[in-house]
Amino acid sequence: MSHVTTHVLDAATGKPAAGVGIVLASVSGDAVVTEAAGSIVAHGTTDADGRLSIGPDRLEPGDYTLTFLTGEYFSASGTETFYPFVTVTFIVEDAADGTSRHCHVPLLLSPFAYSTYRGS
């Protein structure tokens, strides 16, 4: 399993959000490092259950983002949305023994609102 997983639920329909494009990137400080500098770690699309395991088995400690391509998702169904992208920034840290905890970043999505939390 990848170090990072996600699950997207479309709250407006009450169903998993299949086909949502997602980009995992490393970030530095307040600014996202450009793709040319190698910040894009991985990208993928949620499956029929709205789930995606993304990236390598282990990430180096640091700050990362998951950018959900919500505009494309809603556009495919002809649904208007206020959020063309949702970007969630999170921290990967190593424990004292050198291990790193799995990161699960779920997204509850509707055309005009979203929420997220640290999953397990």
Is residue 35 scored above 80 in pLDDT? no
What's the pLDDT band for 30 if we cut at 50, 70, 90? Answer: low
What's the pLDDT band for 28 if we cut at 50, 70, 90? Answer: confident
Judge whether 47 and 6 are in contact, CB under 8 Å.
no
Widest distance between CA atoms in the chain = 49
| 73 φ/ψ sector (left φ>0, alpha ψ -120 to 50, else beta) | alpha
Of 3.20.20.70, 2.60.40.180, 3.40.50.720, 2.30.30.100, the CATH number of 4-114 is 2.60.40.180
Tell me which residue has tokens 């999170």: 90
3-state class of 58 per DSSP?
coil
The overall pTM is greater than 0.75:
yes
Condensed to tens digits (0 to 9), the pLDDT of residues 58-99 reads 898 989 999 999 999 999 999 999 999 999 999 998 878 878
Domain boundaries, the chain: 4-114
Torsion of CA 90, 43, 10, 3, to 10 degrees: -50
Is residue 36 scored above 90 in pLDDT? no
